[in-house]
Amino acid sequence: MPELPDVALYVEHLTRRLAGRTLERVRVVSPFLLRTVSPPISAAEGRTIRGFRRLGKRIVFELEGGPFLAVHLMIAGRFHWKDAPRAPVPKKVGLAAFDVPGATLLLTEASPKKRAALHVVATEAELAACRAAVSSRSKPISRRSPSRSARRATPSSGR
């Protein structure tokens, strides 16, 4: 999965390319990508992109007057910039396209599991709730070394 520095780099570059432009259309081609139904994705169309921010490992599109689009790239999700209006979405790996005047931002995932997610939320409060839901599901990884009995139970190599 793109790590935090990669997500921060995406936010920086997307802001530079897209802030102030109008999101003309969002084309979702994978039925597994969109994880919310209200507000509809069409509520984002025609809105000006104010900027982008990072929410954990999600990339959030900030649109003037709402809604927010939160994209989680998961393991193999990537954004691709195309200097072509309404660029075609790749058949096998394409998930969505975000059309702006004269260009397209494509979202792809090179994994058969299709874990990337797009959440459309109406308000800052819903965005914060989305963050809280993710945080509450996180489980800390134990950093303890295996117990002595577990180490003794494993066969030693070379003896």
**In the predicted model, is pLDDT for residue 157 greater than 80?**
no
> Strand 68-72 to strand 47-55: parallel, antiparallel, or no bridges (unpaired)?
unpaired
pLDDT value, residue 2: 60
- Model confidence at 143, in pLDDT bands (50, 70, 90)? very low
Which percentage of the chain shows pLDDT scores above 70? 80
Report the alpha-carbon distance of residue 72 to residue 60 in Å, rounded.
9
For 11-70, the pLDDT digits (tens) are 999 999 999 999 999 999 998 999 998 999 999 999 999 999 999 889 999 999 989 999
User: Is the whole model's pTM more than 0.85, yes or no?
Assistant: no
- Model confidence at 145, in pLDDT bands (50, 70, 90)? very low
Q: What amino acid occupies position 109? A: E
**In the predicted model, is pLDDT for residue 83 greater than 60?**
yes
Q: Is 78 in a helix, a strand, or coil?
A: strand
For 38-47, the pLDDT digits (tens) are 999 999 999 9
Name the helix (H) or strand (E) containing 80.
strand 77-82
Name the helix (H) or strand (E) containing 94.
strand 94-100
Fold for domain 4-139? N-terminal domain of MutM-like DNA repair proteins (3.20.190)
Domains of the chain by residue range: 4-139
Which residues, in sequence order, are CB contacts of 107 under 8 Å at separation 6+?
33, 71, 77, 78, 79, 80, 94, 95, 96, 97, 98, 116, 118
Angle at 62 between CA 61 and CA 63, to 5 degrees: 110
Q: Which residue has the higher pLDDT, 151 or 22?
A: 22
